[in-house]
Structure 1
């Protein structure tokens, strides 16, 4: 039963767990040089890749090698564009051959899974190099200034970043600067500073230990695995299109079943991503400063926030806490840089990156409509419920229920993969959420991002004029609030 539920993911999970002992072999930066740490991380990564995927692991080298060649020979001005096309194109080629030549319909942790993470790393690095070497400092956003790479990585640094043993199997993606800081031992420097920027001697006696967080995350993995194995065997998702089930149960039972089946499916992802996070933390990667009580935070490369997902009151809140590193990648390489229809372009890129199964595209097309409707509701309705705590609670309950139903409805094709079963499900629901969302988009006005950007300078200018004509000294406070 376990093999049927996980498929080849079970084998990959076992091998991922075997990564834990390797963390103990990885020497602290105070005991060895960055060069040795790069070499060890890369060699162990290649060993794990060969152990798990055999000669298919050569695709990791081919993809990385092609992209590095593009970086070296095409020049900084257009390097990021060519790297994006070449890397994503090679990933798509491998996904097509895997899906339609080898095992169509078998959604498994095959060799294209790690390639998806490598694709994120290569394209992110290409854009970061372009920002660091091509753009002026004043033209970069604050996040882009931090991520910008000021020199071309060596081949060893590049391969270590893409194929290190901590993230070769399940990720998650991280920025190049964060990874290099970890390799060189600069990852704990923020601990010396308090929130006000002053040096705090309390926490600089020794490096923060990840043991507490690693144990906590391993326990979370065990709980997630147990929930998945117990509930999903009782409530598999494909039953939502079973003719007998649909004919013998009223619609409200089908709605309840859909929610429970999707609730039971999510712990599979909680397990994999939390395990990957724990592995990186065990190696000393992922430190993110200190909490208010002085305890270290190890969530710099965490891929999800489970409570925020389960209690999300908006579609955006759900997506912001689900597969966080992928969402950041989509935001940095697409949403913030696409001049036209960034929402649609981001969902399209996400679908292409995930693979070639038609269900992915149905999910992300639906996601565009749901996102637009959720945005319209928030901009036009939310302010009417902020007058009292009771109204706010009512609004939160309604939006929580709506968000969970919208998520479940949207991702069914992502699970079913094929067109026929996906359309059968939507038709059994009379495409009701599609129709409701389209109606909301048509009825409720929402300003586009470009309109907001055009209005922002004028509002700032008006604020400055008010400050100049104001007799009091409150303008600085207003500007800070703006």
Structure 2
């Protein structure tokens, strides 16, 4: 099937790379995205070396980062990139005019509402089920940045210090950003296409040459600046490793994604002719092959930021530099996760941080339910997203009940613990696959067809487990866990606590 006949109507970006798209038989918008991200890697190296904060003013670095970001956006999305400016401009106007007392609420409503409007029109007016020229992807990251910044300004300028959590104190912003700083934060070339989200304070510290996690700015003395520059760890090796991970992920995705199509899980002929245990194995393989594309996109985005010198997170126990401050996933922890919580802890990490800081920590009523609803709204207008998050809620409750009631019986010997880990790994992987099938299929009909083919067995089982097994309050679970298994960290919300994270990072640095 000819590629141009598929993608030409949907791709609104540059057609300069159409010959390459035809040769490799990939949609033009995907080719544009990959080429722009690879160009961003090279640009990031140049940005770090030739526009280093010791020799370049913050104004210049802001201007260059913003203009490059807008150019990449125009190349990939054409005039749809104007939505990035409109969304950012509207919310900046609200920040200036509404006042710090209530502007965080207005910004959340406007930014999320504008994103939802664009998602709904793209899905139900233009190309339902197609991802070509999906300009709402970058808008999702910009929405995170806009809302995070609004809440951090509110914390720093409208709330009293004693009312803030340790994490909120560190992230709080004490002055209103300038228009240039605001657009640079939202639309810089390092993160405009695929993120990841970062805190405003960390980004400004990177631009101005300070220490990430603080607002300490470098001394103006040039000798001190040169000395600091010489002491900076080089990101070159970690960028090379991450680029190798990207290449491997891309090769795996392109070679096996068509071998195990997810749609076969709802094929009546496949369901009737295949024993259930083989369908379970196929479900795992089909969902496993969808993950490498996320590994590719998020790892490449992380490498771009690292190449520019952004993302340094202190030193590890062995003295090696860590470049994972804004990493979005930990692949090995995902593939070998032994619980639903561990999987979520290591998947889309920055989005999890955003959900906690904007919603979970602040919602006075039913914060868990509110967080799931916000996450579903942020992801988009496809019904499959909501089915995924509803299923995830039930499985989370059941997994918590099983861990609290069953796990202590397997901690008395290493053999029993290994057996428990193997069983929970298998159960976690199948539960994850079962949960995210609607996320891939998108529509209600195919999603319900899949669940019916499994007789909604995991739904029913999880509800029964959640009802039958008691779960004590959180503070009691933490105390018992520490007494029974000191090697295990305390349980907490699946999003890492910002205060402890930055405190540890400060000490390490």
Q: How does 1:8-407 map to 2 (within 5 A)?
A: 8-26=29-47, 27-108=51-132, 110-187=134-211, 206-407=231-432
Q: Is the 8 A contact 1:188 1:207 kept in 2?
A: no
Q: Give the aligned partner of residue 18 of structure 2.
A: none
Q: TM-score, normalised by structure 1?
A: 0.88
Q: CA deviation at 1:447?
A: 3.8
For residues 69 and 443 of structure 1, the distance between their equivalents in structure 2, rounded to whole angstroms, comes to 52
Q: CA deviation at 1:204?
A: 8.6
Q: CA deviation at 1:7?
A: 7.3
Q: CA deviation at 1:189?
A: 8.9
SS in 1 for 2:102: helix
Q: TM-score, normalised by structure 2?
A: 0.84
Give the number of equivalent residue pairs.
443
Q: Is the 8 A contact 2:328 2:350 kept in 1?
A: yes
For residues 317 and 250 of structure 1, the distance between their equivalents in structure 2, rounded to whole angstroms, comes to 30
SS in 1 for 2:290: helix
Q: CA deviation at 1:383?
A: 1.6
Q: Give the aligned partner of residue 224 of structure 2.
A: none
Unaligned runs of 5+ in 2: 4-20, 217-226, 480-509
Q: Is the 8 A contact 2:202 2:213 kept in 1?
A: no
Q: CA deviation at 1:218?
A: 0.3
For residues 372 and 209 of structure 1, the distance between their equivalents in structure 2, rounded to whole angstroms, comes to 44
Q: CA deviation at 1:251?
A: 0.4
For residues 358 and 311 of structure 2, the distance between their equivalents in structure 1, rounded to whole angstroms, comes to 22
The 1:204–1:45 alpha-carbon spacing in structure 2 relative to 1, beyond 3 Å, is: closer
Q: CA deviation at 1:24?
A: 3.6
Q: Is the 8 A contact 1:188 1:289 kept in 2?
A: no
Q: Is the 8 A contact 2:76 2:133 kept in 1?
A: no
For residues 397 and 453 of structure 2, the distance between their equivalents in structure 1, rounded to whole angstroms, comes to 24
Q: Give the aligned partner of residue 415 of structure 1.
A: 440
Q: CA deviation at 1:188?
A: 6.5
For residues 389 and 45 of structure 2, the distance between their equivalents in structure 1, rounded to whole angstroms, comes to 41
- Is 1:441 paired with 2:462? no
The 1:367–1:268 alpha-carbon spacing in structure 2 relative to 1, beyond 3 Å, is: same
For residues 128 and 120 of structure 2, the distance between their equivalents in structure 1, rounded to whole angstroms, comes to 9
For residues 402 and 62 of structure 1, the distance between their equivalents in structure 2, rounded to whole angstroms, comes to 45
Q: CA deviation at 1:398?
A: 1.2
Unaligned runs of 5+ in 1: 193-201, 457-482
SS in 2 for 1:76: coil
Give a deviation string over 1:306-361, Cα, whole Å, max 9, x none: 00000111111101100110111111111111222222211111111010001001
The 1:66–1:258 alpha-carbon spacing in structure 2 relative to 1, beyond 3 Å, is: same
